[in-house]
Amino acid sequence: MGFGSIWHWVVVLVIVVLVFGTKRLKNVGKDLGEAVKGFKDGVREDDKPAGRLSDQNREDDTAGDSTRTPDERTPRESSHDEPRPPR
């Protein structure tokens, strides 16, 4: 009896419905559908050419650069570069 049997899946489905209930399964299905839709929308946005930024995106990009301090633009020295004393 493998995972290909239809009766196996019917029993699994009945147990899942009994454990979680139909309302929770409906909510899970709705959330999953919204996640897939959001993923597809994100993929479509990535497929757009990079040269075409909307006016709102351009304003956000320029505003973000002016609020940065010089420390944030330059890489910081890490403590990993300093030699450690022998143990």
Taking 90 as the threshold, does the pLDDT of residue 74 lie above it? no
Confidence at 86, pLDDT banded by 50, 70, 90 = confident
Distance CA 56, CA 50 (A): 14
pTM value? 0.39
15-68 pLDDT, tens per residue? 999 998 988 888 999 999 999 999 999 988 887 766 555 555 656 656 555 555
Is the backbone of residue 29 left (phi > 0), alpha (psi -120 to 50) or beta?
A: alpha
